């Protein structure tokens, strides 16, 4: 089932994105994410902010103890510094190969998380690769913190991206998905088509037409795809993404504050762990 709502001619301007940040750790798996971050920045004429995020010596402090520094402790710190130097060189090499000129490379200082948080708070979009979103690699914890604690708009880059292609917005009317749907507007304005997808859930299912009307005020033409009611919502969303040949999905991130475990709700966890979609998420 689908329907279309045309935009109003008096649509007002929505703020564009001017600063796109992407944390990197020097891992080869991050290279495609860095390229997609550059593509997103270029599509907005935005500044690309590449943040080298090293292992933090401060996190070794409880193990090293206070006062006397023995041979083992010194060796551990030296090893950490050498690994960080090698990783930084690898990350810089990939960074230098990016043709987009409006870019900068920064080495985050200890305490690394606080430095990263400051950068994220002054960014319009933060881009992570697939491994980080699945809880793998050196940036897995940073991903959780950026998405859940800083509540940043995050793009999870997994596949080659055409910014001007079709976009699919998964919406259930609740706060996280509505926040993601609102904050993605600058990106959605570049899409060739925006599809709003959702399934009847609960006693008072969301009216997808209400989001379509909101988008119309922003000058967006949308199509509604009302999915069948069933147990496998994630499967239905993935199938809709494929059916519409969408370049990315916009979805809300559910869950409470970050725990030591990967503490996301079922739908969010399934999208992050079991799919290969490009995702724009906000919590």
Query: What pLDDT is recorded for position 257?
Result: 44
Residue 22 in this model has a pLDDT that exceeds 90: yes
Query: What pLDDT is recorded for position 82?
Result: 85
- Torsional class of 248: left (φ above 0), alpha (ψ -120 to 50), beta (otherwise): beta
C-alpha of 177 from chain center? 14
Residue 120 pLDDT level (bands cut at 50, 70, 90):
very high
Strands in the chain per DSSP E: 4-5, 19-24, 47-52, 103-107, 125-129, 154-157, 166-170, 193-198, 222-226, 246-252, 279-282
Find out if CATH 3.60.21.10 is the number for domain 1-283.
Answer: no
Q: Which segment of 108-112, 251-255, 257-261 scores lowest on mean pLDDT? A: 257-261
Query: What pLDDT is recorded for position 27?
Result: 93
Q: How far apart are CA 125 and CA 51, in angstroms?
A: 13
- Torsional class of 65: left (φ above 0), alpha (ψ -120 to 50), beta (otherwise): left
CB 199 within 8 A of CB 236: yes
Over residues 61-99, the pLDDT tens digits come to 555 555 555 676 777 777 778 888 999 999 999 999 999
Interior CA angle at 150 toward 216 and 276, to 5°?
65
Q: How far apart are CA 51 and CA 104, in angstroms?
A: 8
Query: What pLDDT is recorded for position 76?
Result: 72
The residue ranking higher by pLDDT, 98 or 257, is: 98
Selection from 157, 142, 131 nearest residue 29 by Cα: 131
Over residues 123-173, the pLDDT tens digits come to 999 999 999 999 999 999 999 999 988 999 999 999 999 999 999 999 999
Q: Which segment of 47-61, 136-150, 222-236 scores lowest on mean pLDDT? A: 47-61
Q: How far apart are CA 14 and CA 220, in angstroms?
A: 11
Adjacency order of strands within the sheet including 193-198: 4-5, 222-226, 193-198, 166-170, 246-252, 279-282, 154-157, 125-129, 19-24, 47-52, 103-107
């Amino acid at each position: 089932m689908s329907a279309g709502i045309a935009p109003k001619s008096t649509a007002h301007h929505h703020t564009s994105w001017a600063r796109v940040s992407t944390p990197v750790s020097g891992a080869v798996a991050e290279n495609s994410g860095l390229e997609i971050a550059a593509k997103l920045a270029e599509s907005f004429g935005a500044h690309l902010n590449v943040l080298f995020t090293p292992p933090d010596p401060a996190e070794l402090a409880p193990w090293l103890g206070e006062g006397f520094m023995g041979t083992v402790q010194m060796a551990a710190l030296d090893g950490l510094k050498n690994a960080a130097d090698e990783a930084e060189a690898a990350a810089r090499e990939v960074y230098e190969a990016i043709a987009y000129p409006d870019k900068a490379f920064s080495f985050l200082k200890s305490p690394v998380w606080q430095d990263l948080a400051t950068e994220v708070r002054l960014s319009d979009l933060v881009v992570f690769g697939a491994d980080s979103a699945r809880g793998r690699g050196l940036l897995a914890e940073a991903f959780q913190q950026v998405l859940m604690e800083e509540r940043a708009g995050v793009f999870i880059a997994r596949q080659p991206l055409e910014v001007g292609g079709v976009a699919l917005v998964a919406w259930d009317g609740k706060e996280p998905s509505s926040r993601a749907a609102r904050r993605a507007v600058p990106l959605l304005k570049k899409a060739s088509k925006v599809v709003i997808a959702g399934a009847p859930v609960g006693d008072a299912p969301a009216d997808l037409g209400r989001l379509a009307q909101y988008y119309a005020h922003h000058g967006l033409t949308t199509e509604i795809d009302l999915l069948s009611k069933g147990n496998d919502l994630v499967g239905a969303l993935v199938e809709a993404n494929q059916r519409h040949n969408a370049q990315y999905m916009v979805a809300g991130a559910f869950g409470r504050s970050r725990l030591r475990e990967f503490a996301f709700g079922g739908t969010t966890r399934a999208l992050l762990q079991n799919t290969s979609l490009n995702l724009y998420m906000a919590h």
